Amino acid sequence: MVDPTSDIGEDVTEENAPECEQCSSKIIQSTSHRVVSEIEDGRAVHHHFCSDDCHDEWLAA
C-alpha cells in the first residue's frame, strides 16, 4: 500500500487507498482523513477514518 499520509498523495488510487475503519469508504486525498495508531500484540496497527464522525462512532462502539 502506498503511504496515504504522504504530502504528495498523488499515488493513492482507489485500488491501494485505505478504507475507513467505521464505514469502509475508500479514503482518497481527503482533508478529513484521520489515522489512529496503537500497539496490538507488539505490532503497530493503524486505523484509518474518513471523518471525525466515523472516528467518534468507532470510539463509542
Q: Please state, in angstroms and rounded to a whole number, the distance separating the CA atoms of residues 17 and 59.
A: 22
Q: Dihedral (C-alpha) 58, 44, 50, 15: value to the nearest 10 degrees?
A: -130
| pLDDT of res. 49 | 95
Residue 12 has pLDDT above 70, yes or no: yes
Contact indicator for 4, 12 with CB cutoff of 8 Å: yes
Residue 44 CB: number of other CB atoms within 10 A? 8
CA terminus-to-terminus distance, the chain: 27
Q: Can you tell me the mean pLDDT for 9-29?
A: 86
Residue 4 has pLDDT above 90, yes or no: no
Grid cell listed for 58:
468507532
Q: What is the pLDDT of residues 30-54, one digit of tens each?
A: 888 999 999 999 999 999 999 999 9
| pLDDT of res. 16 | 87
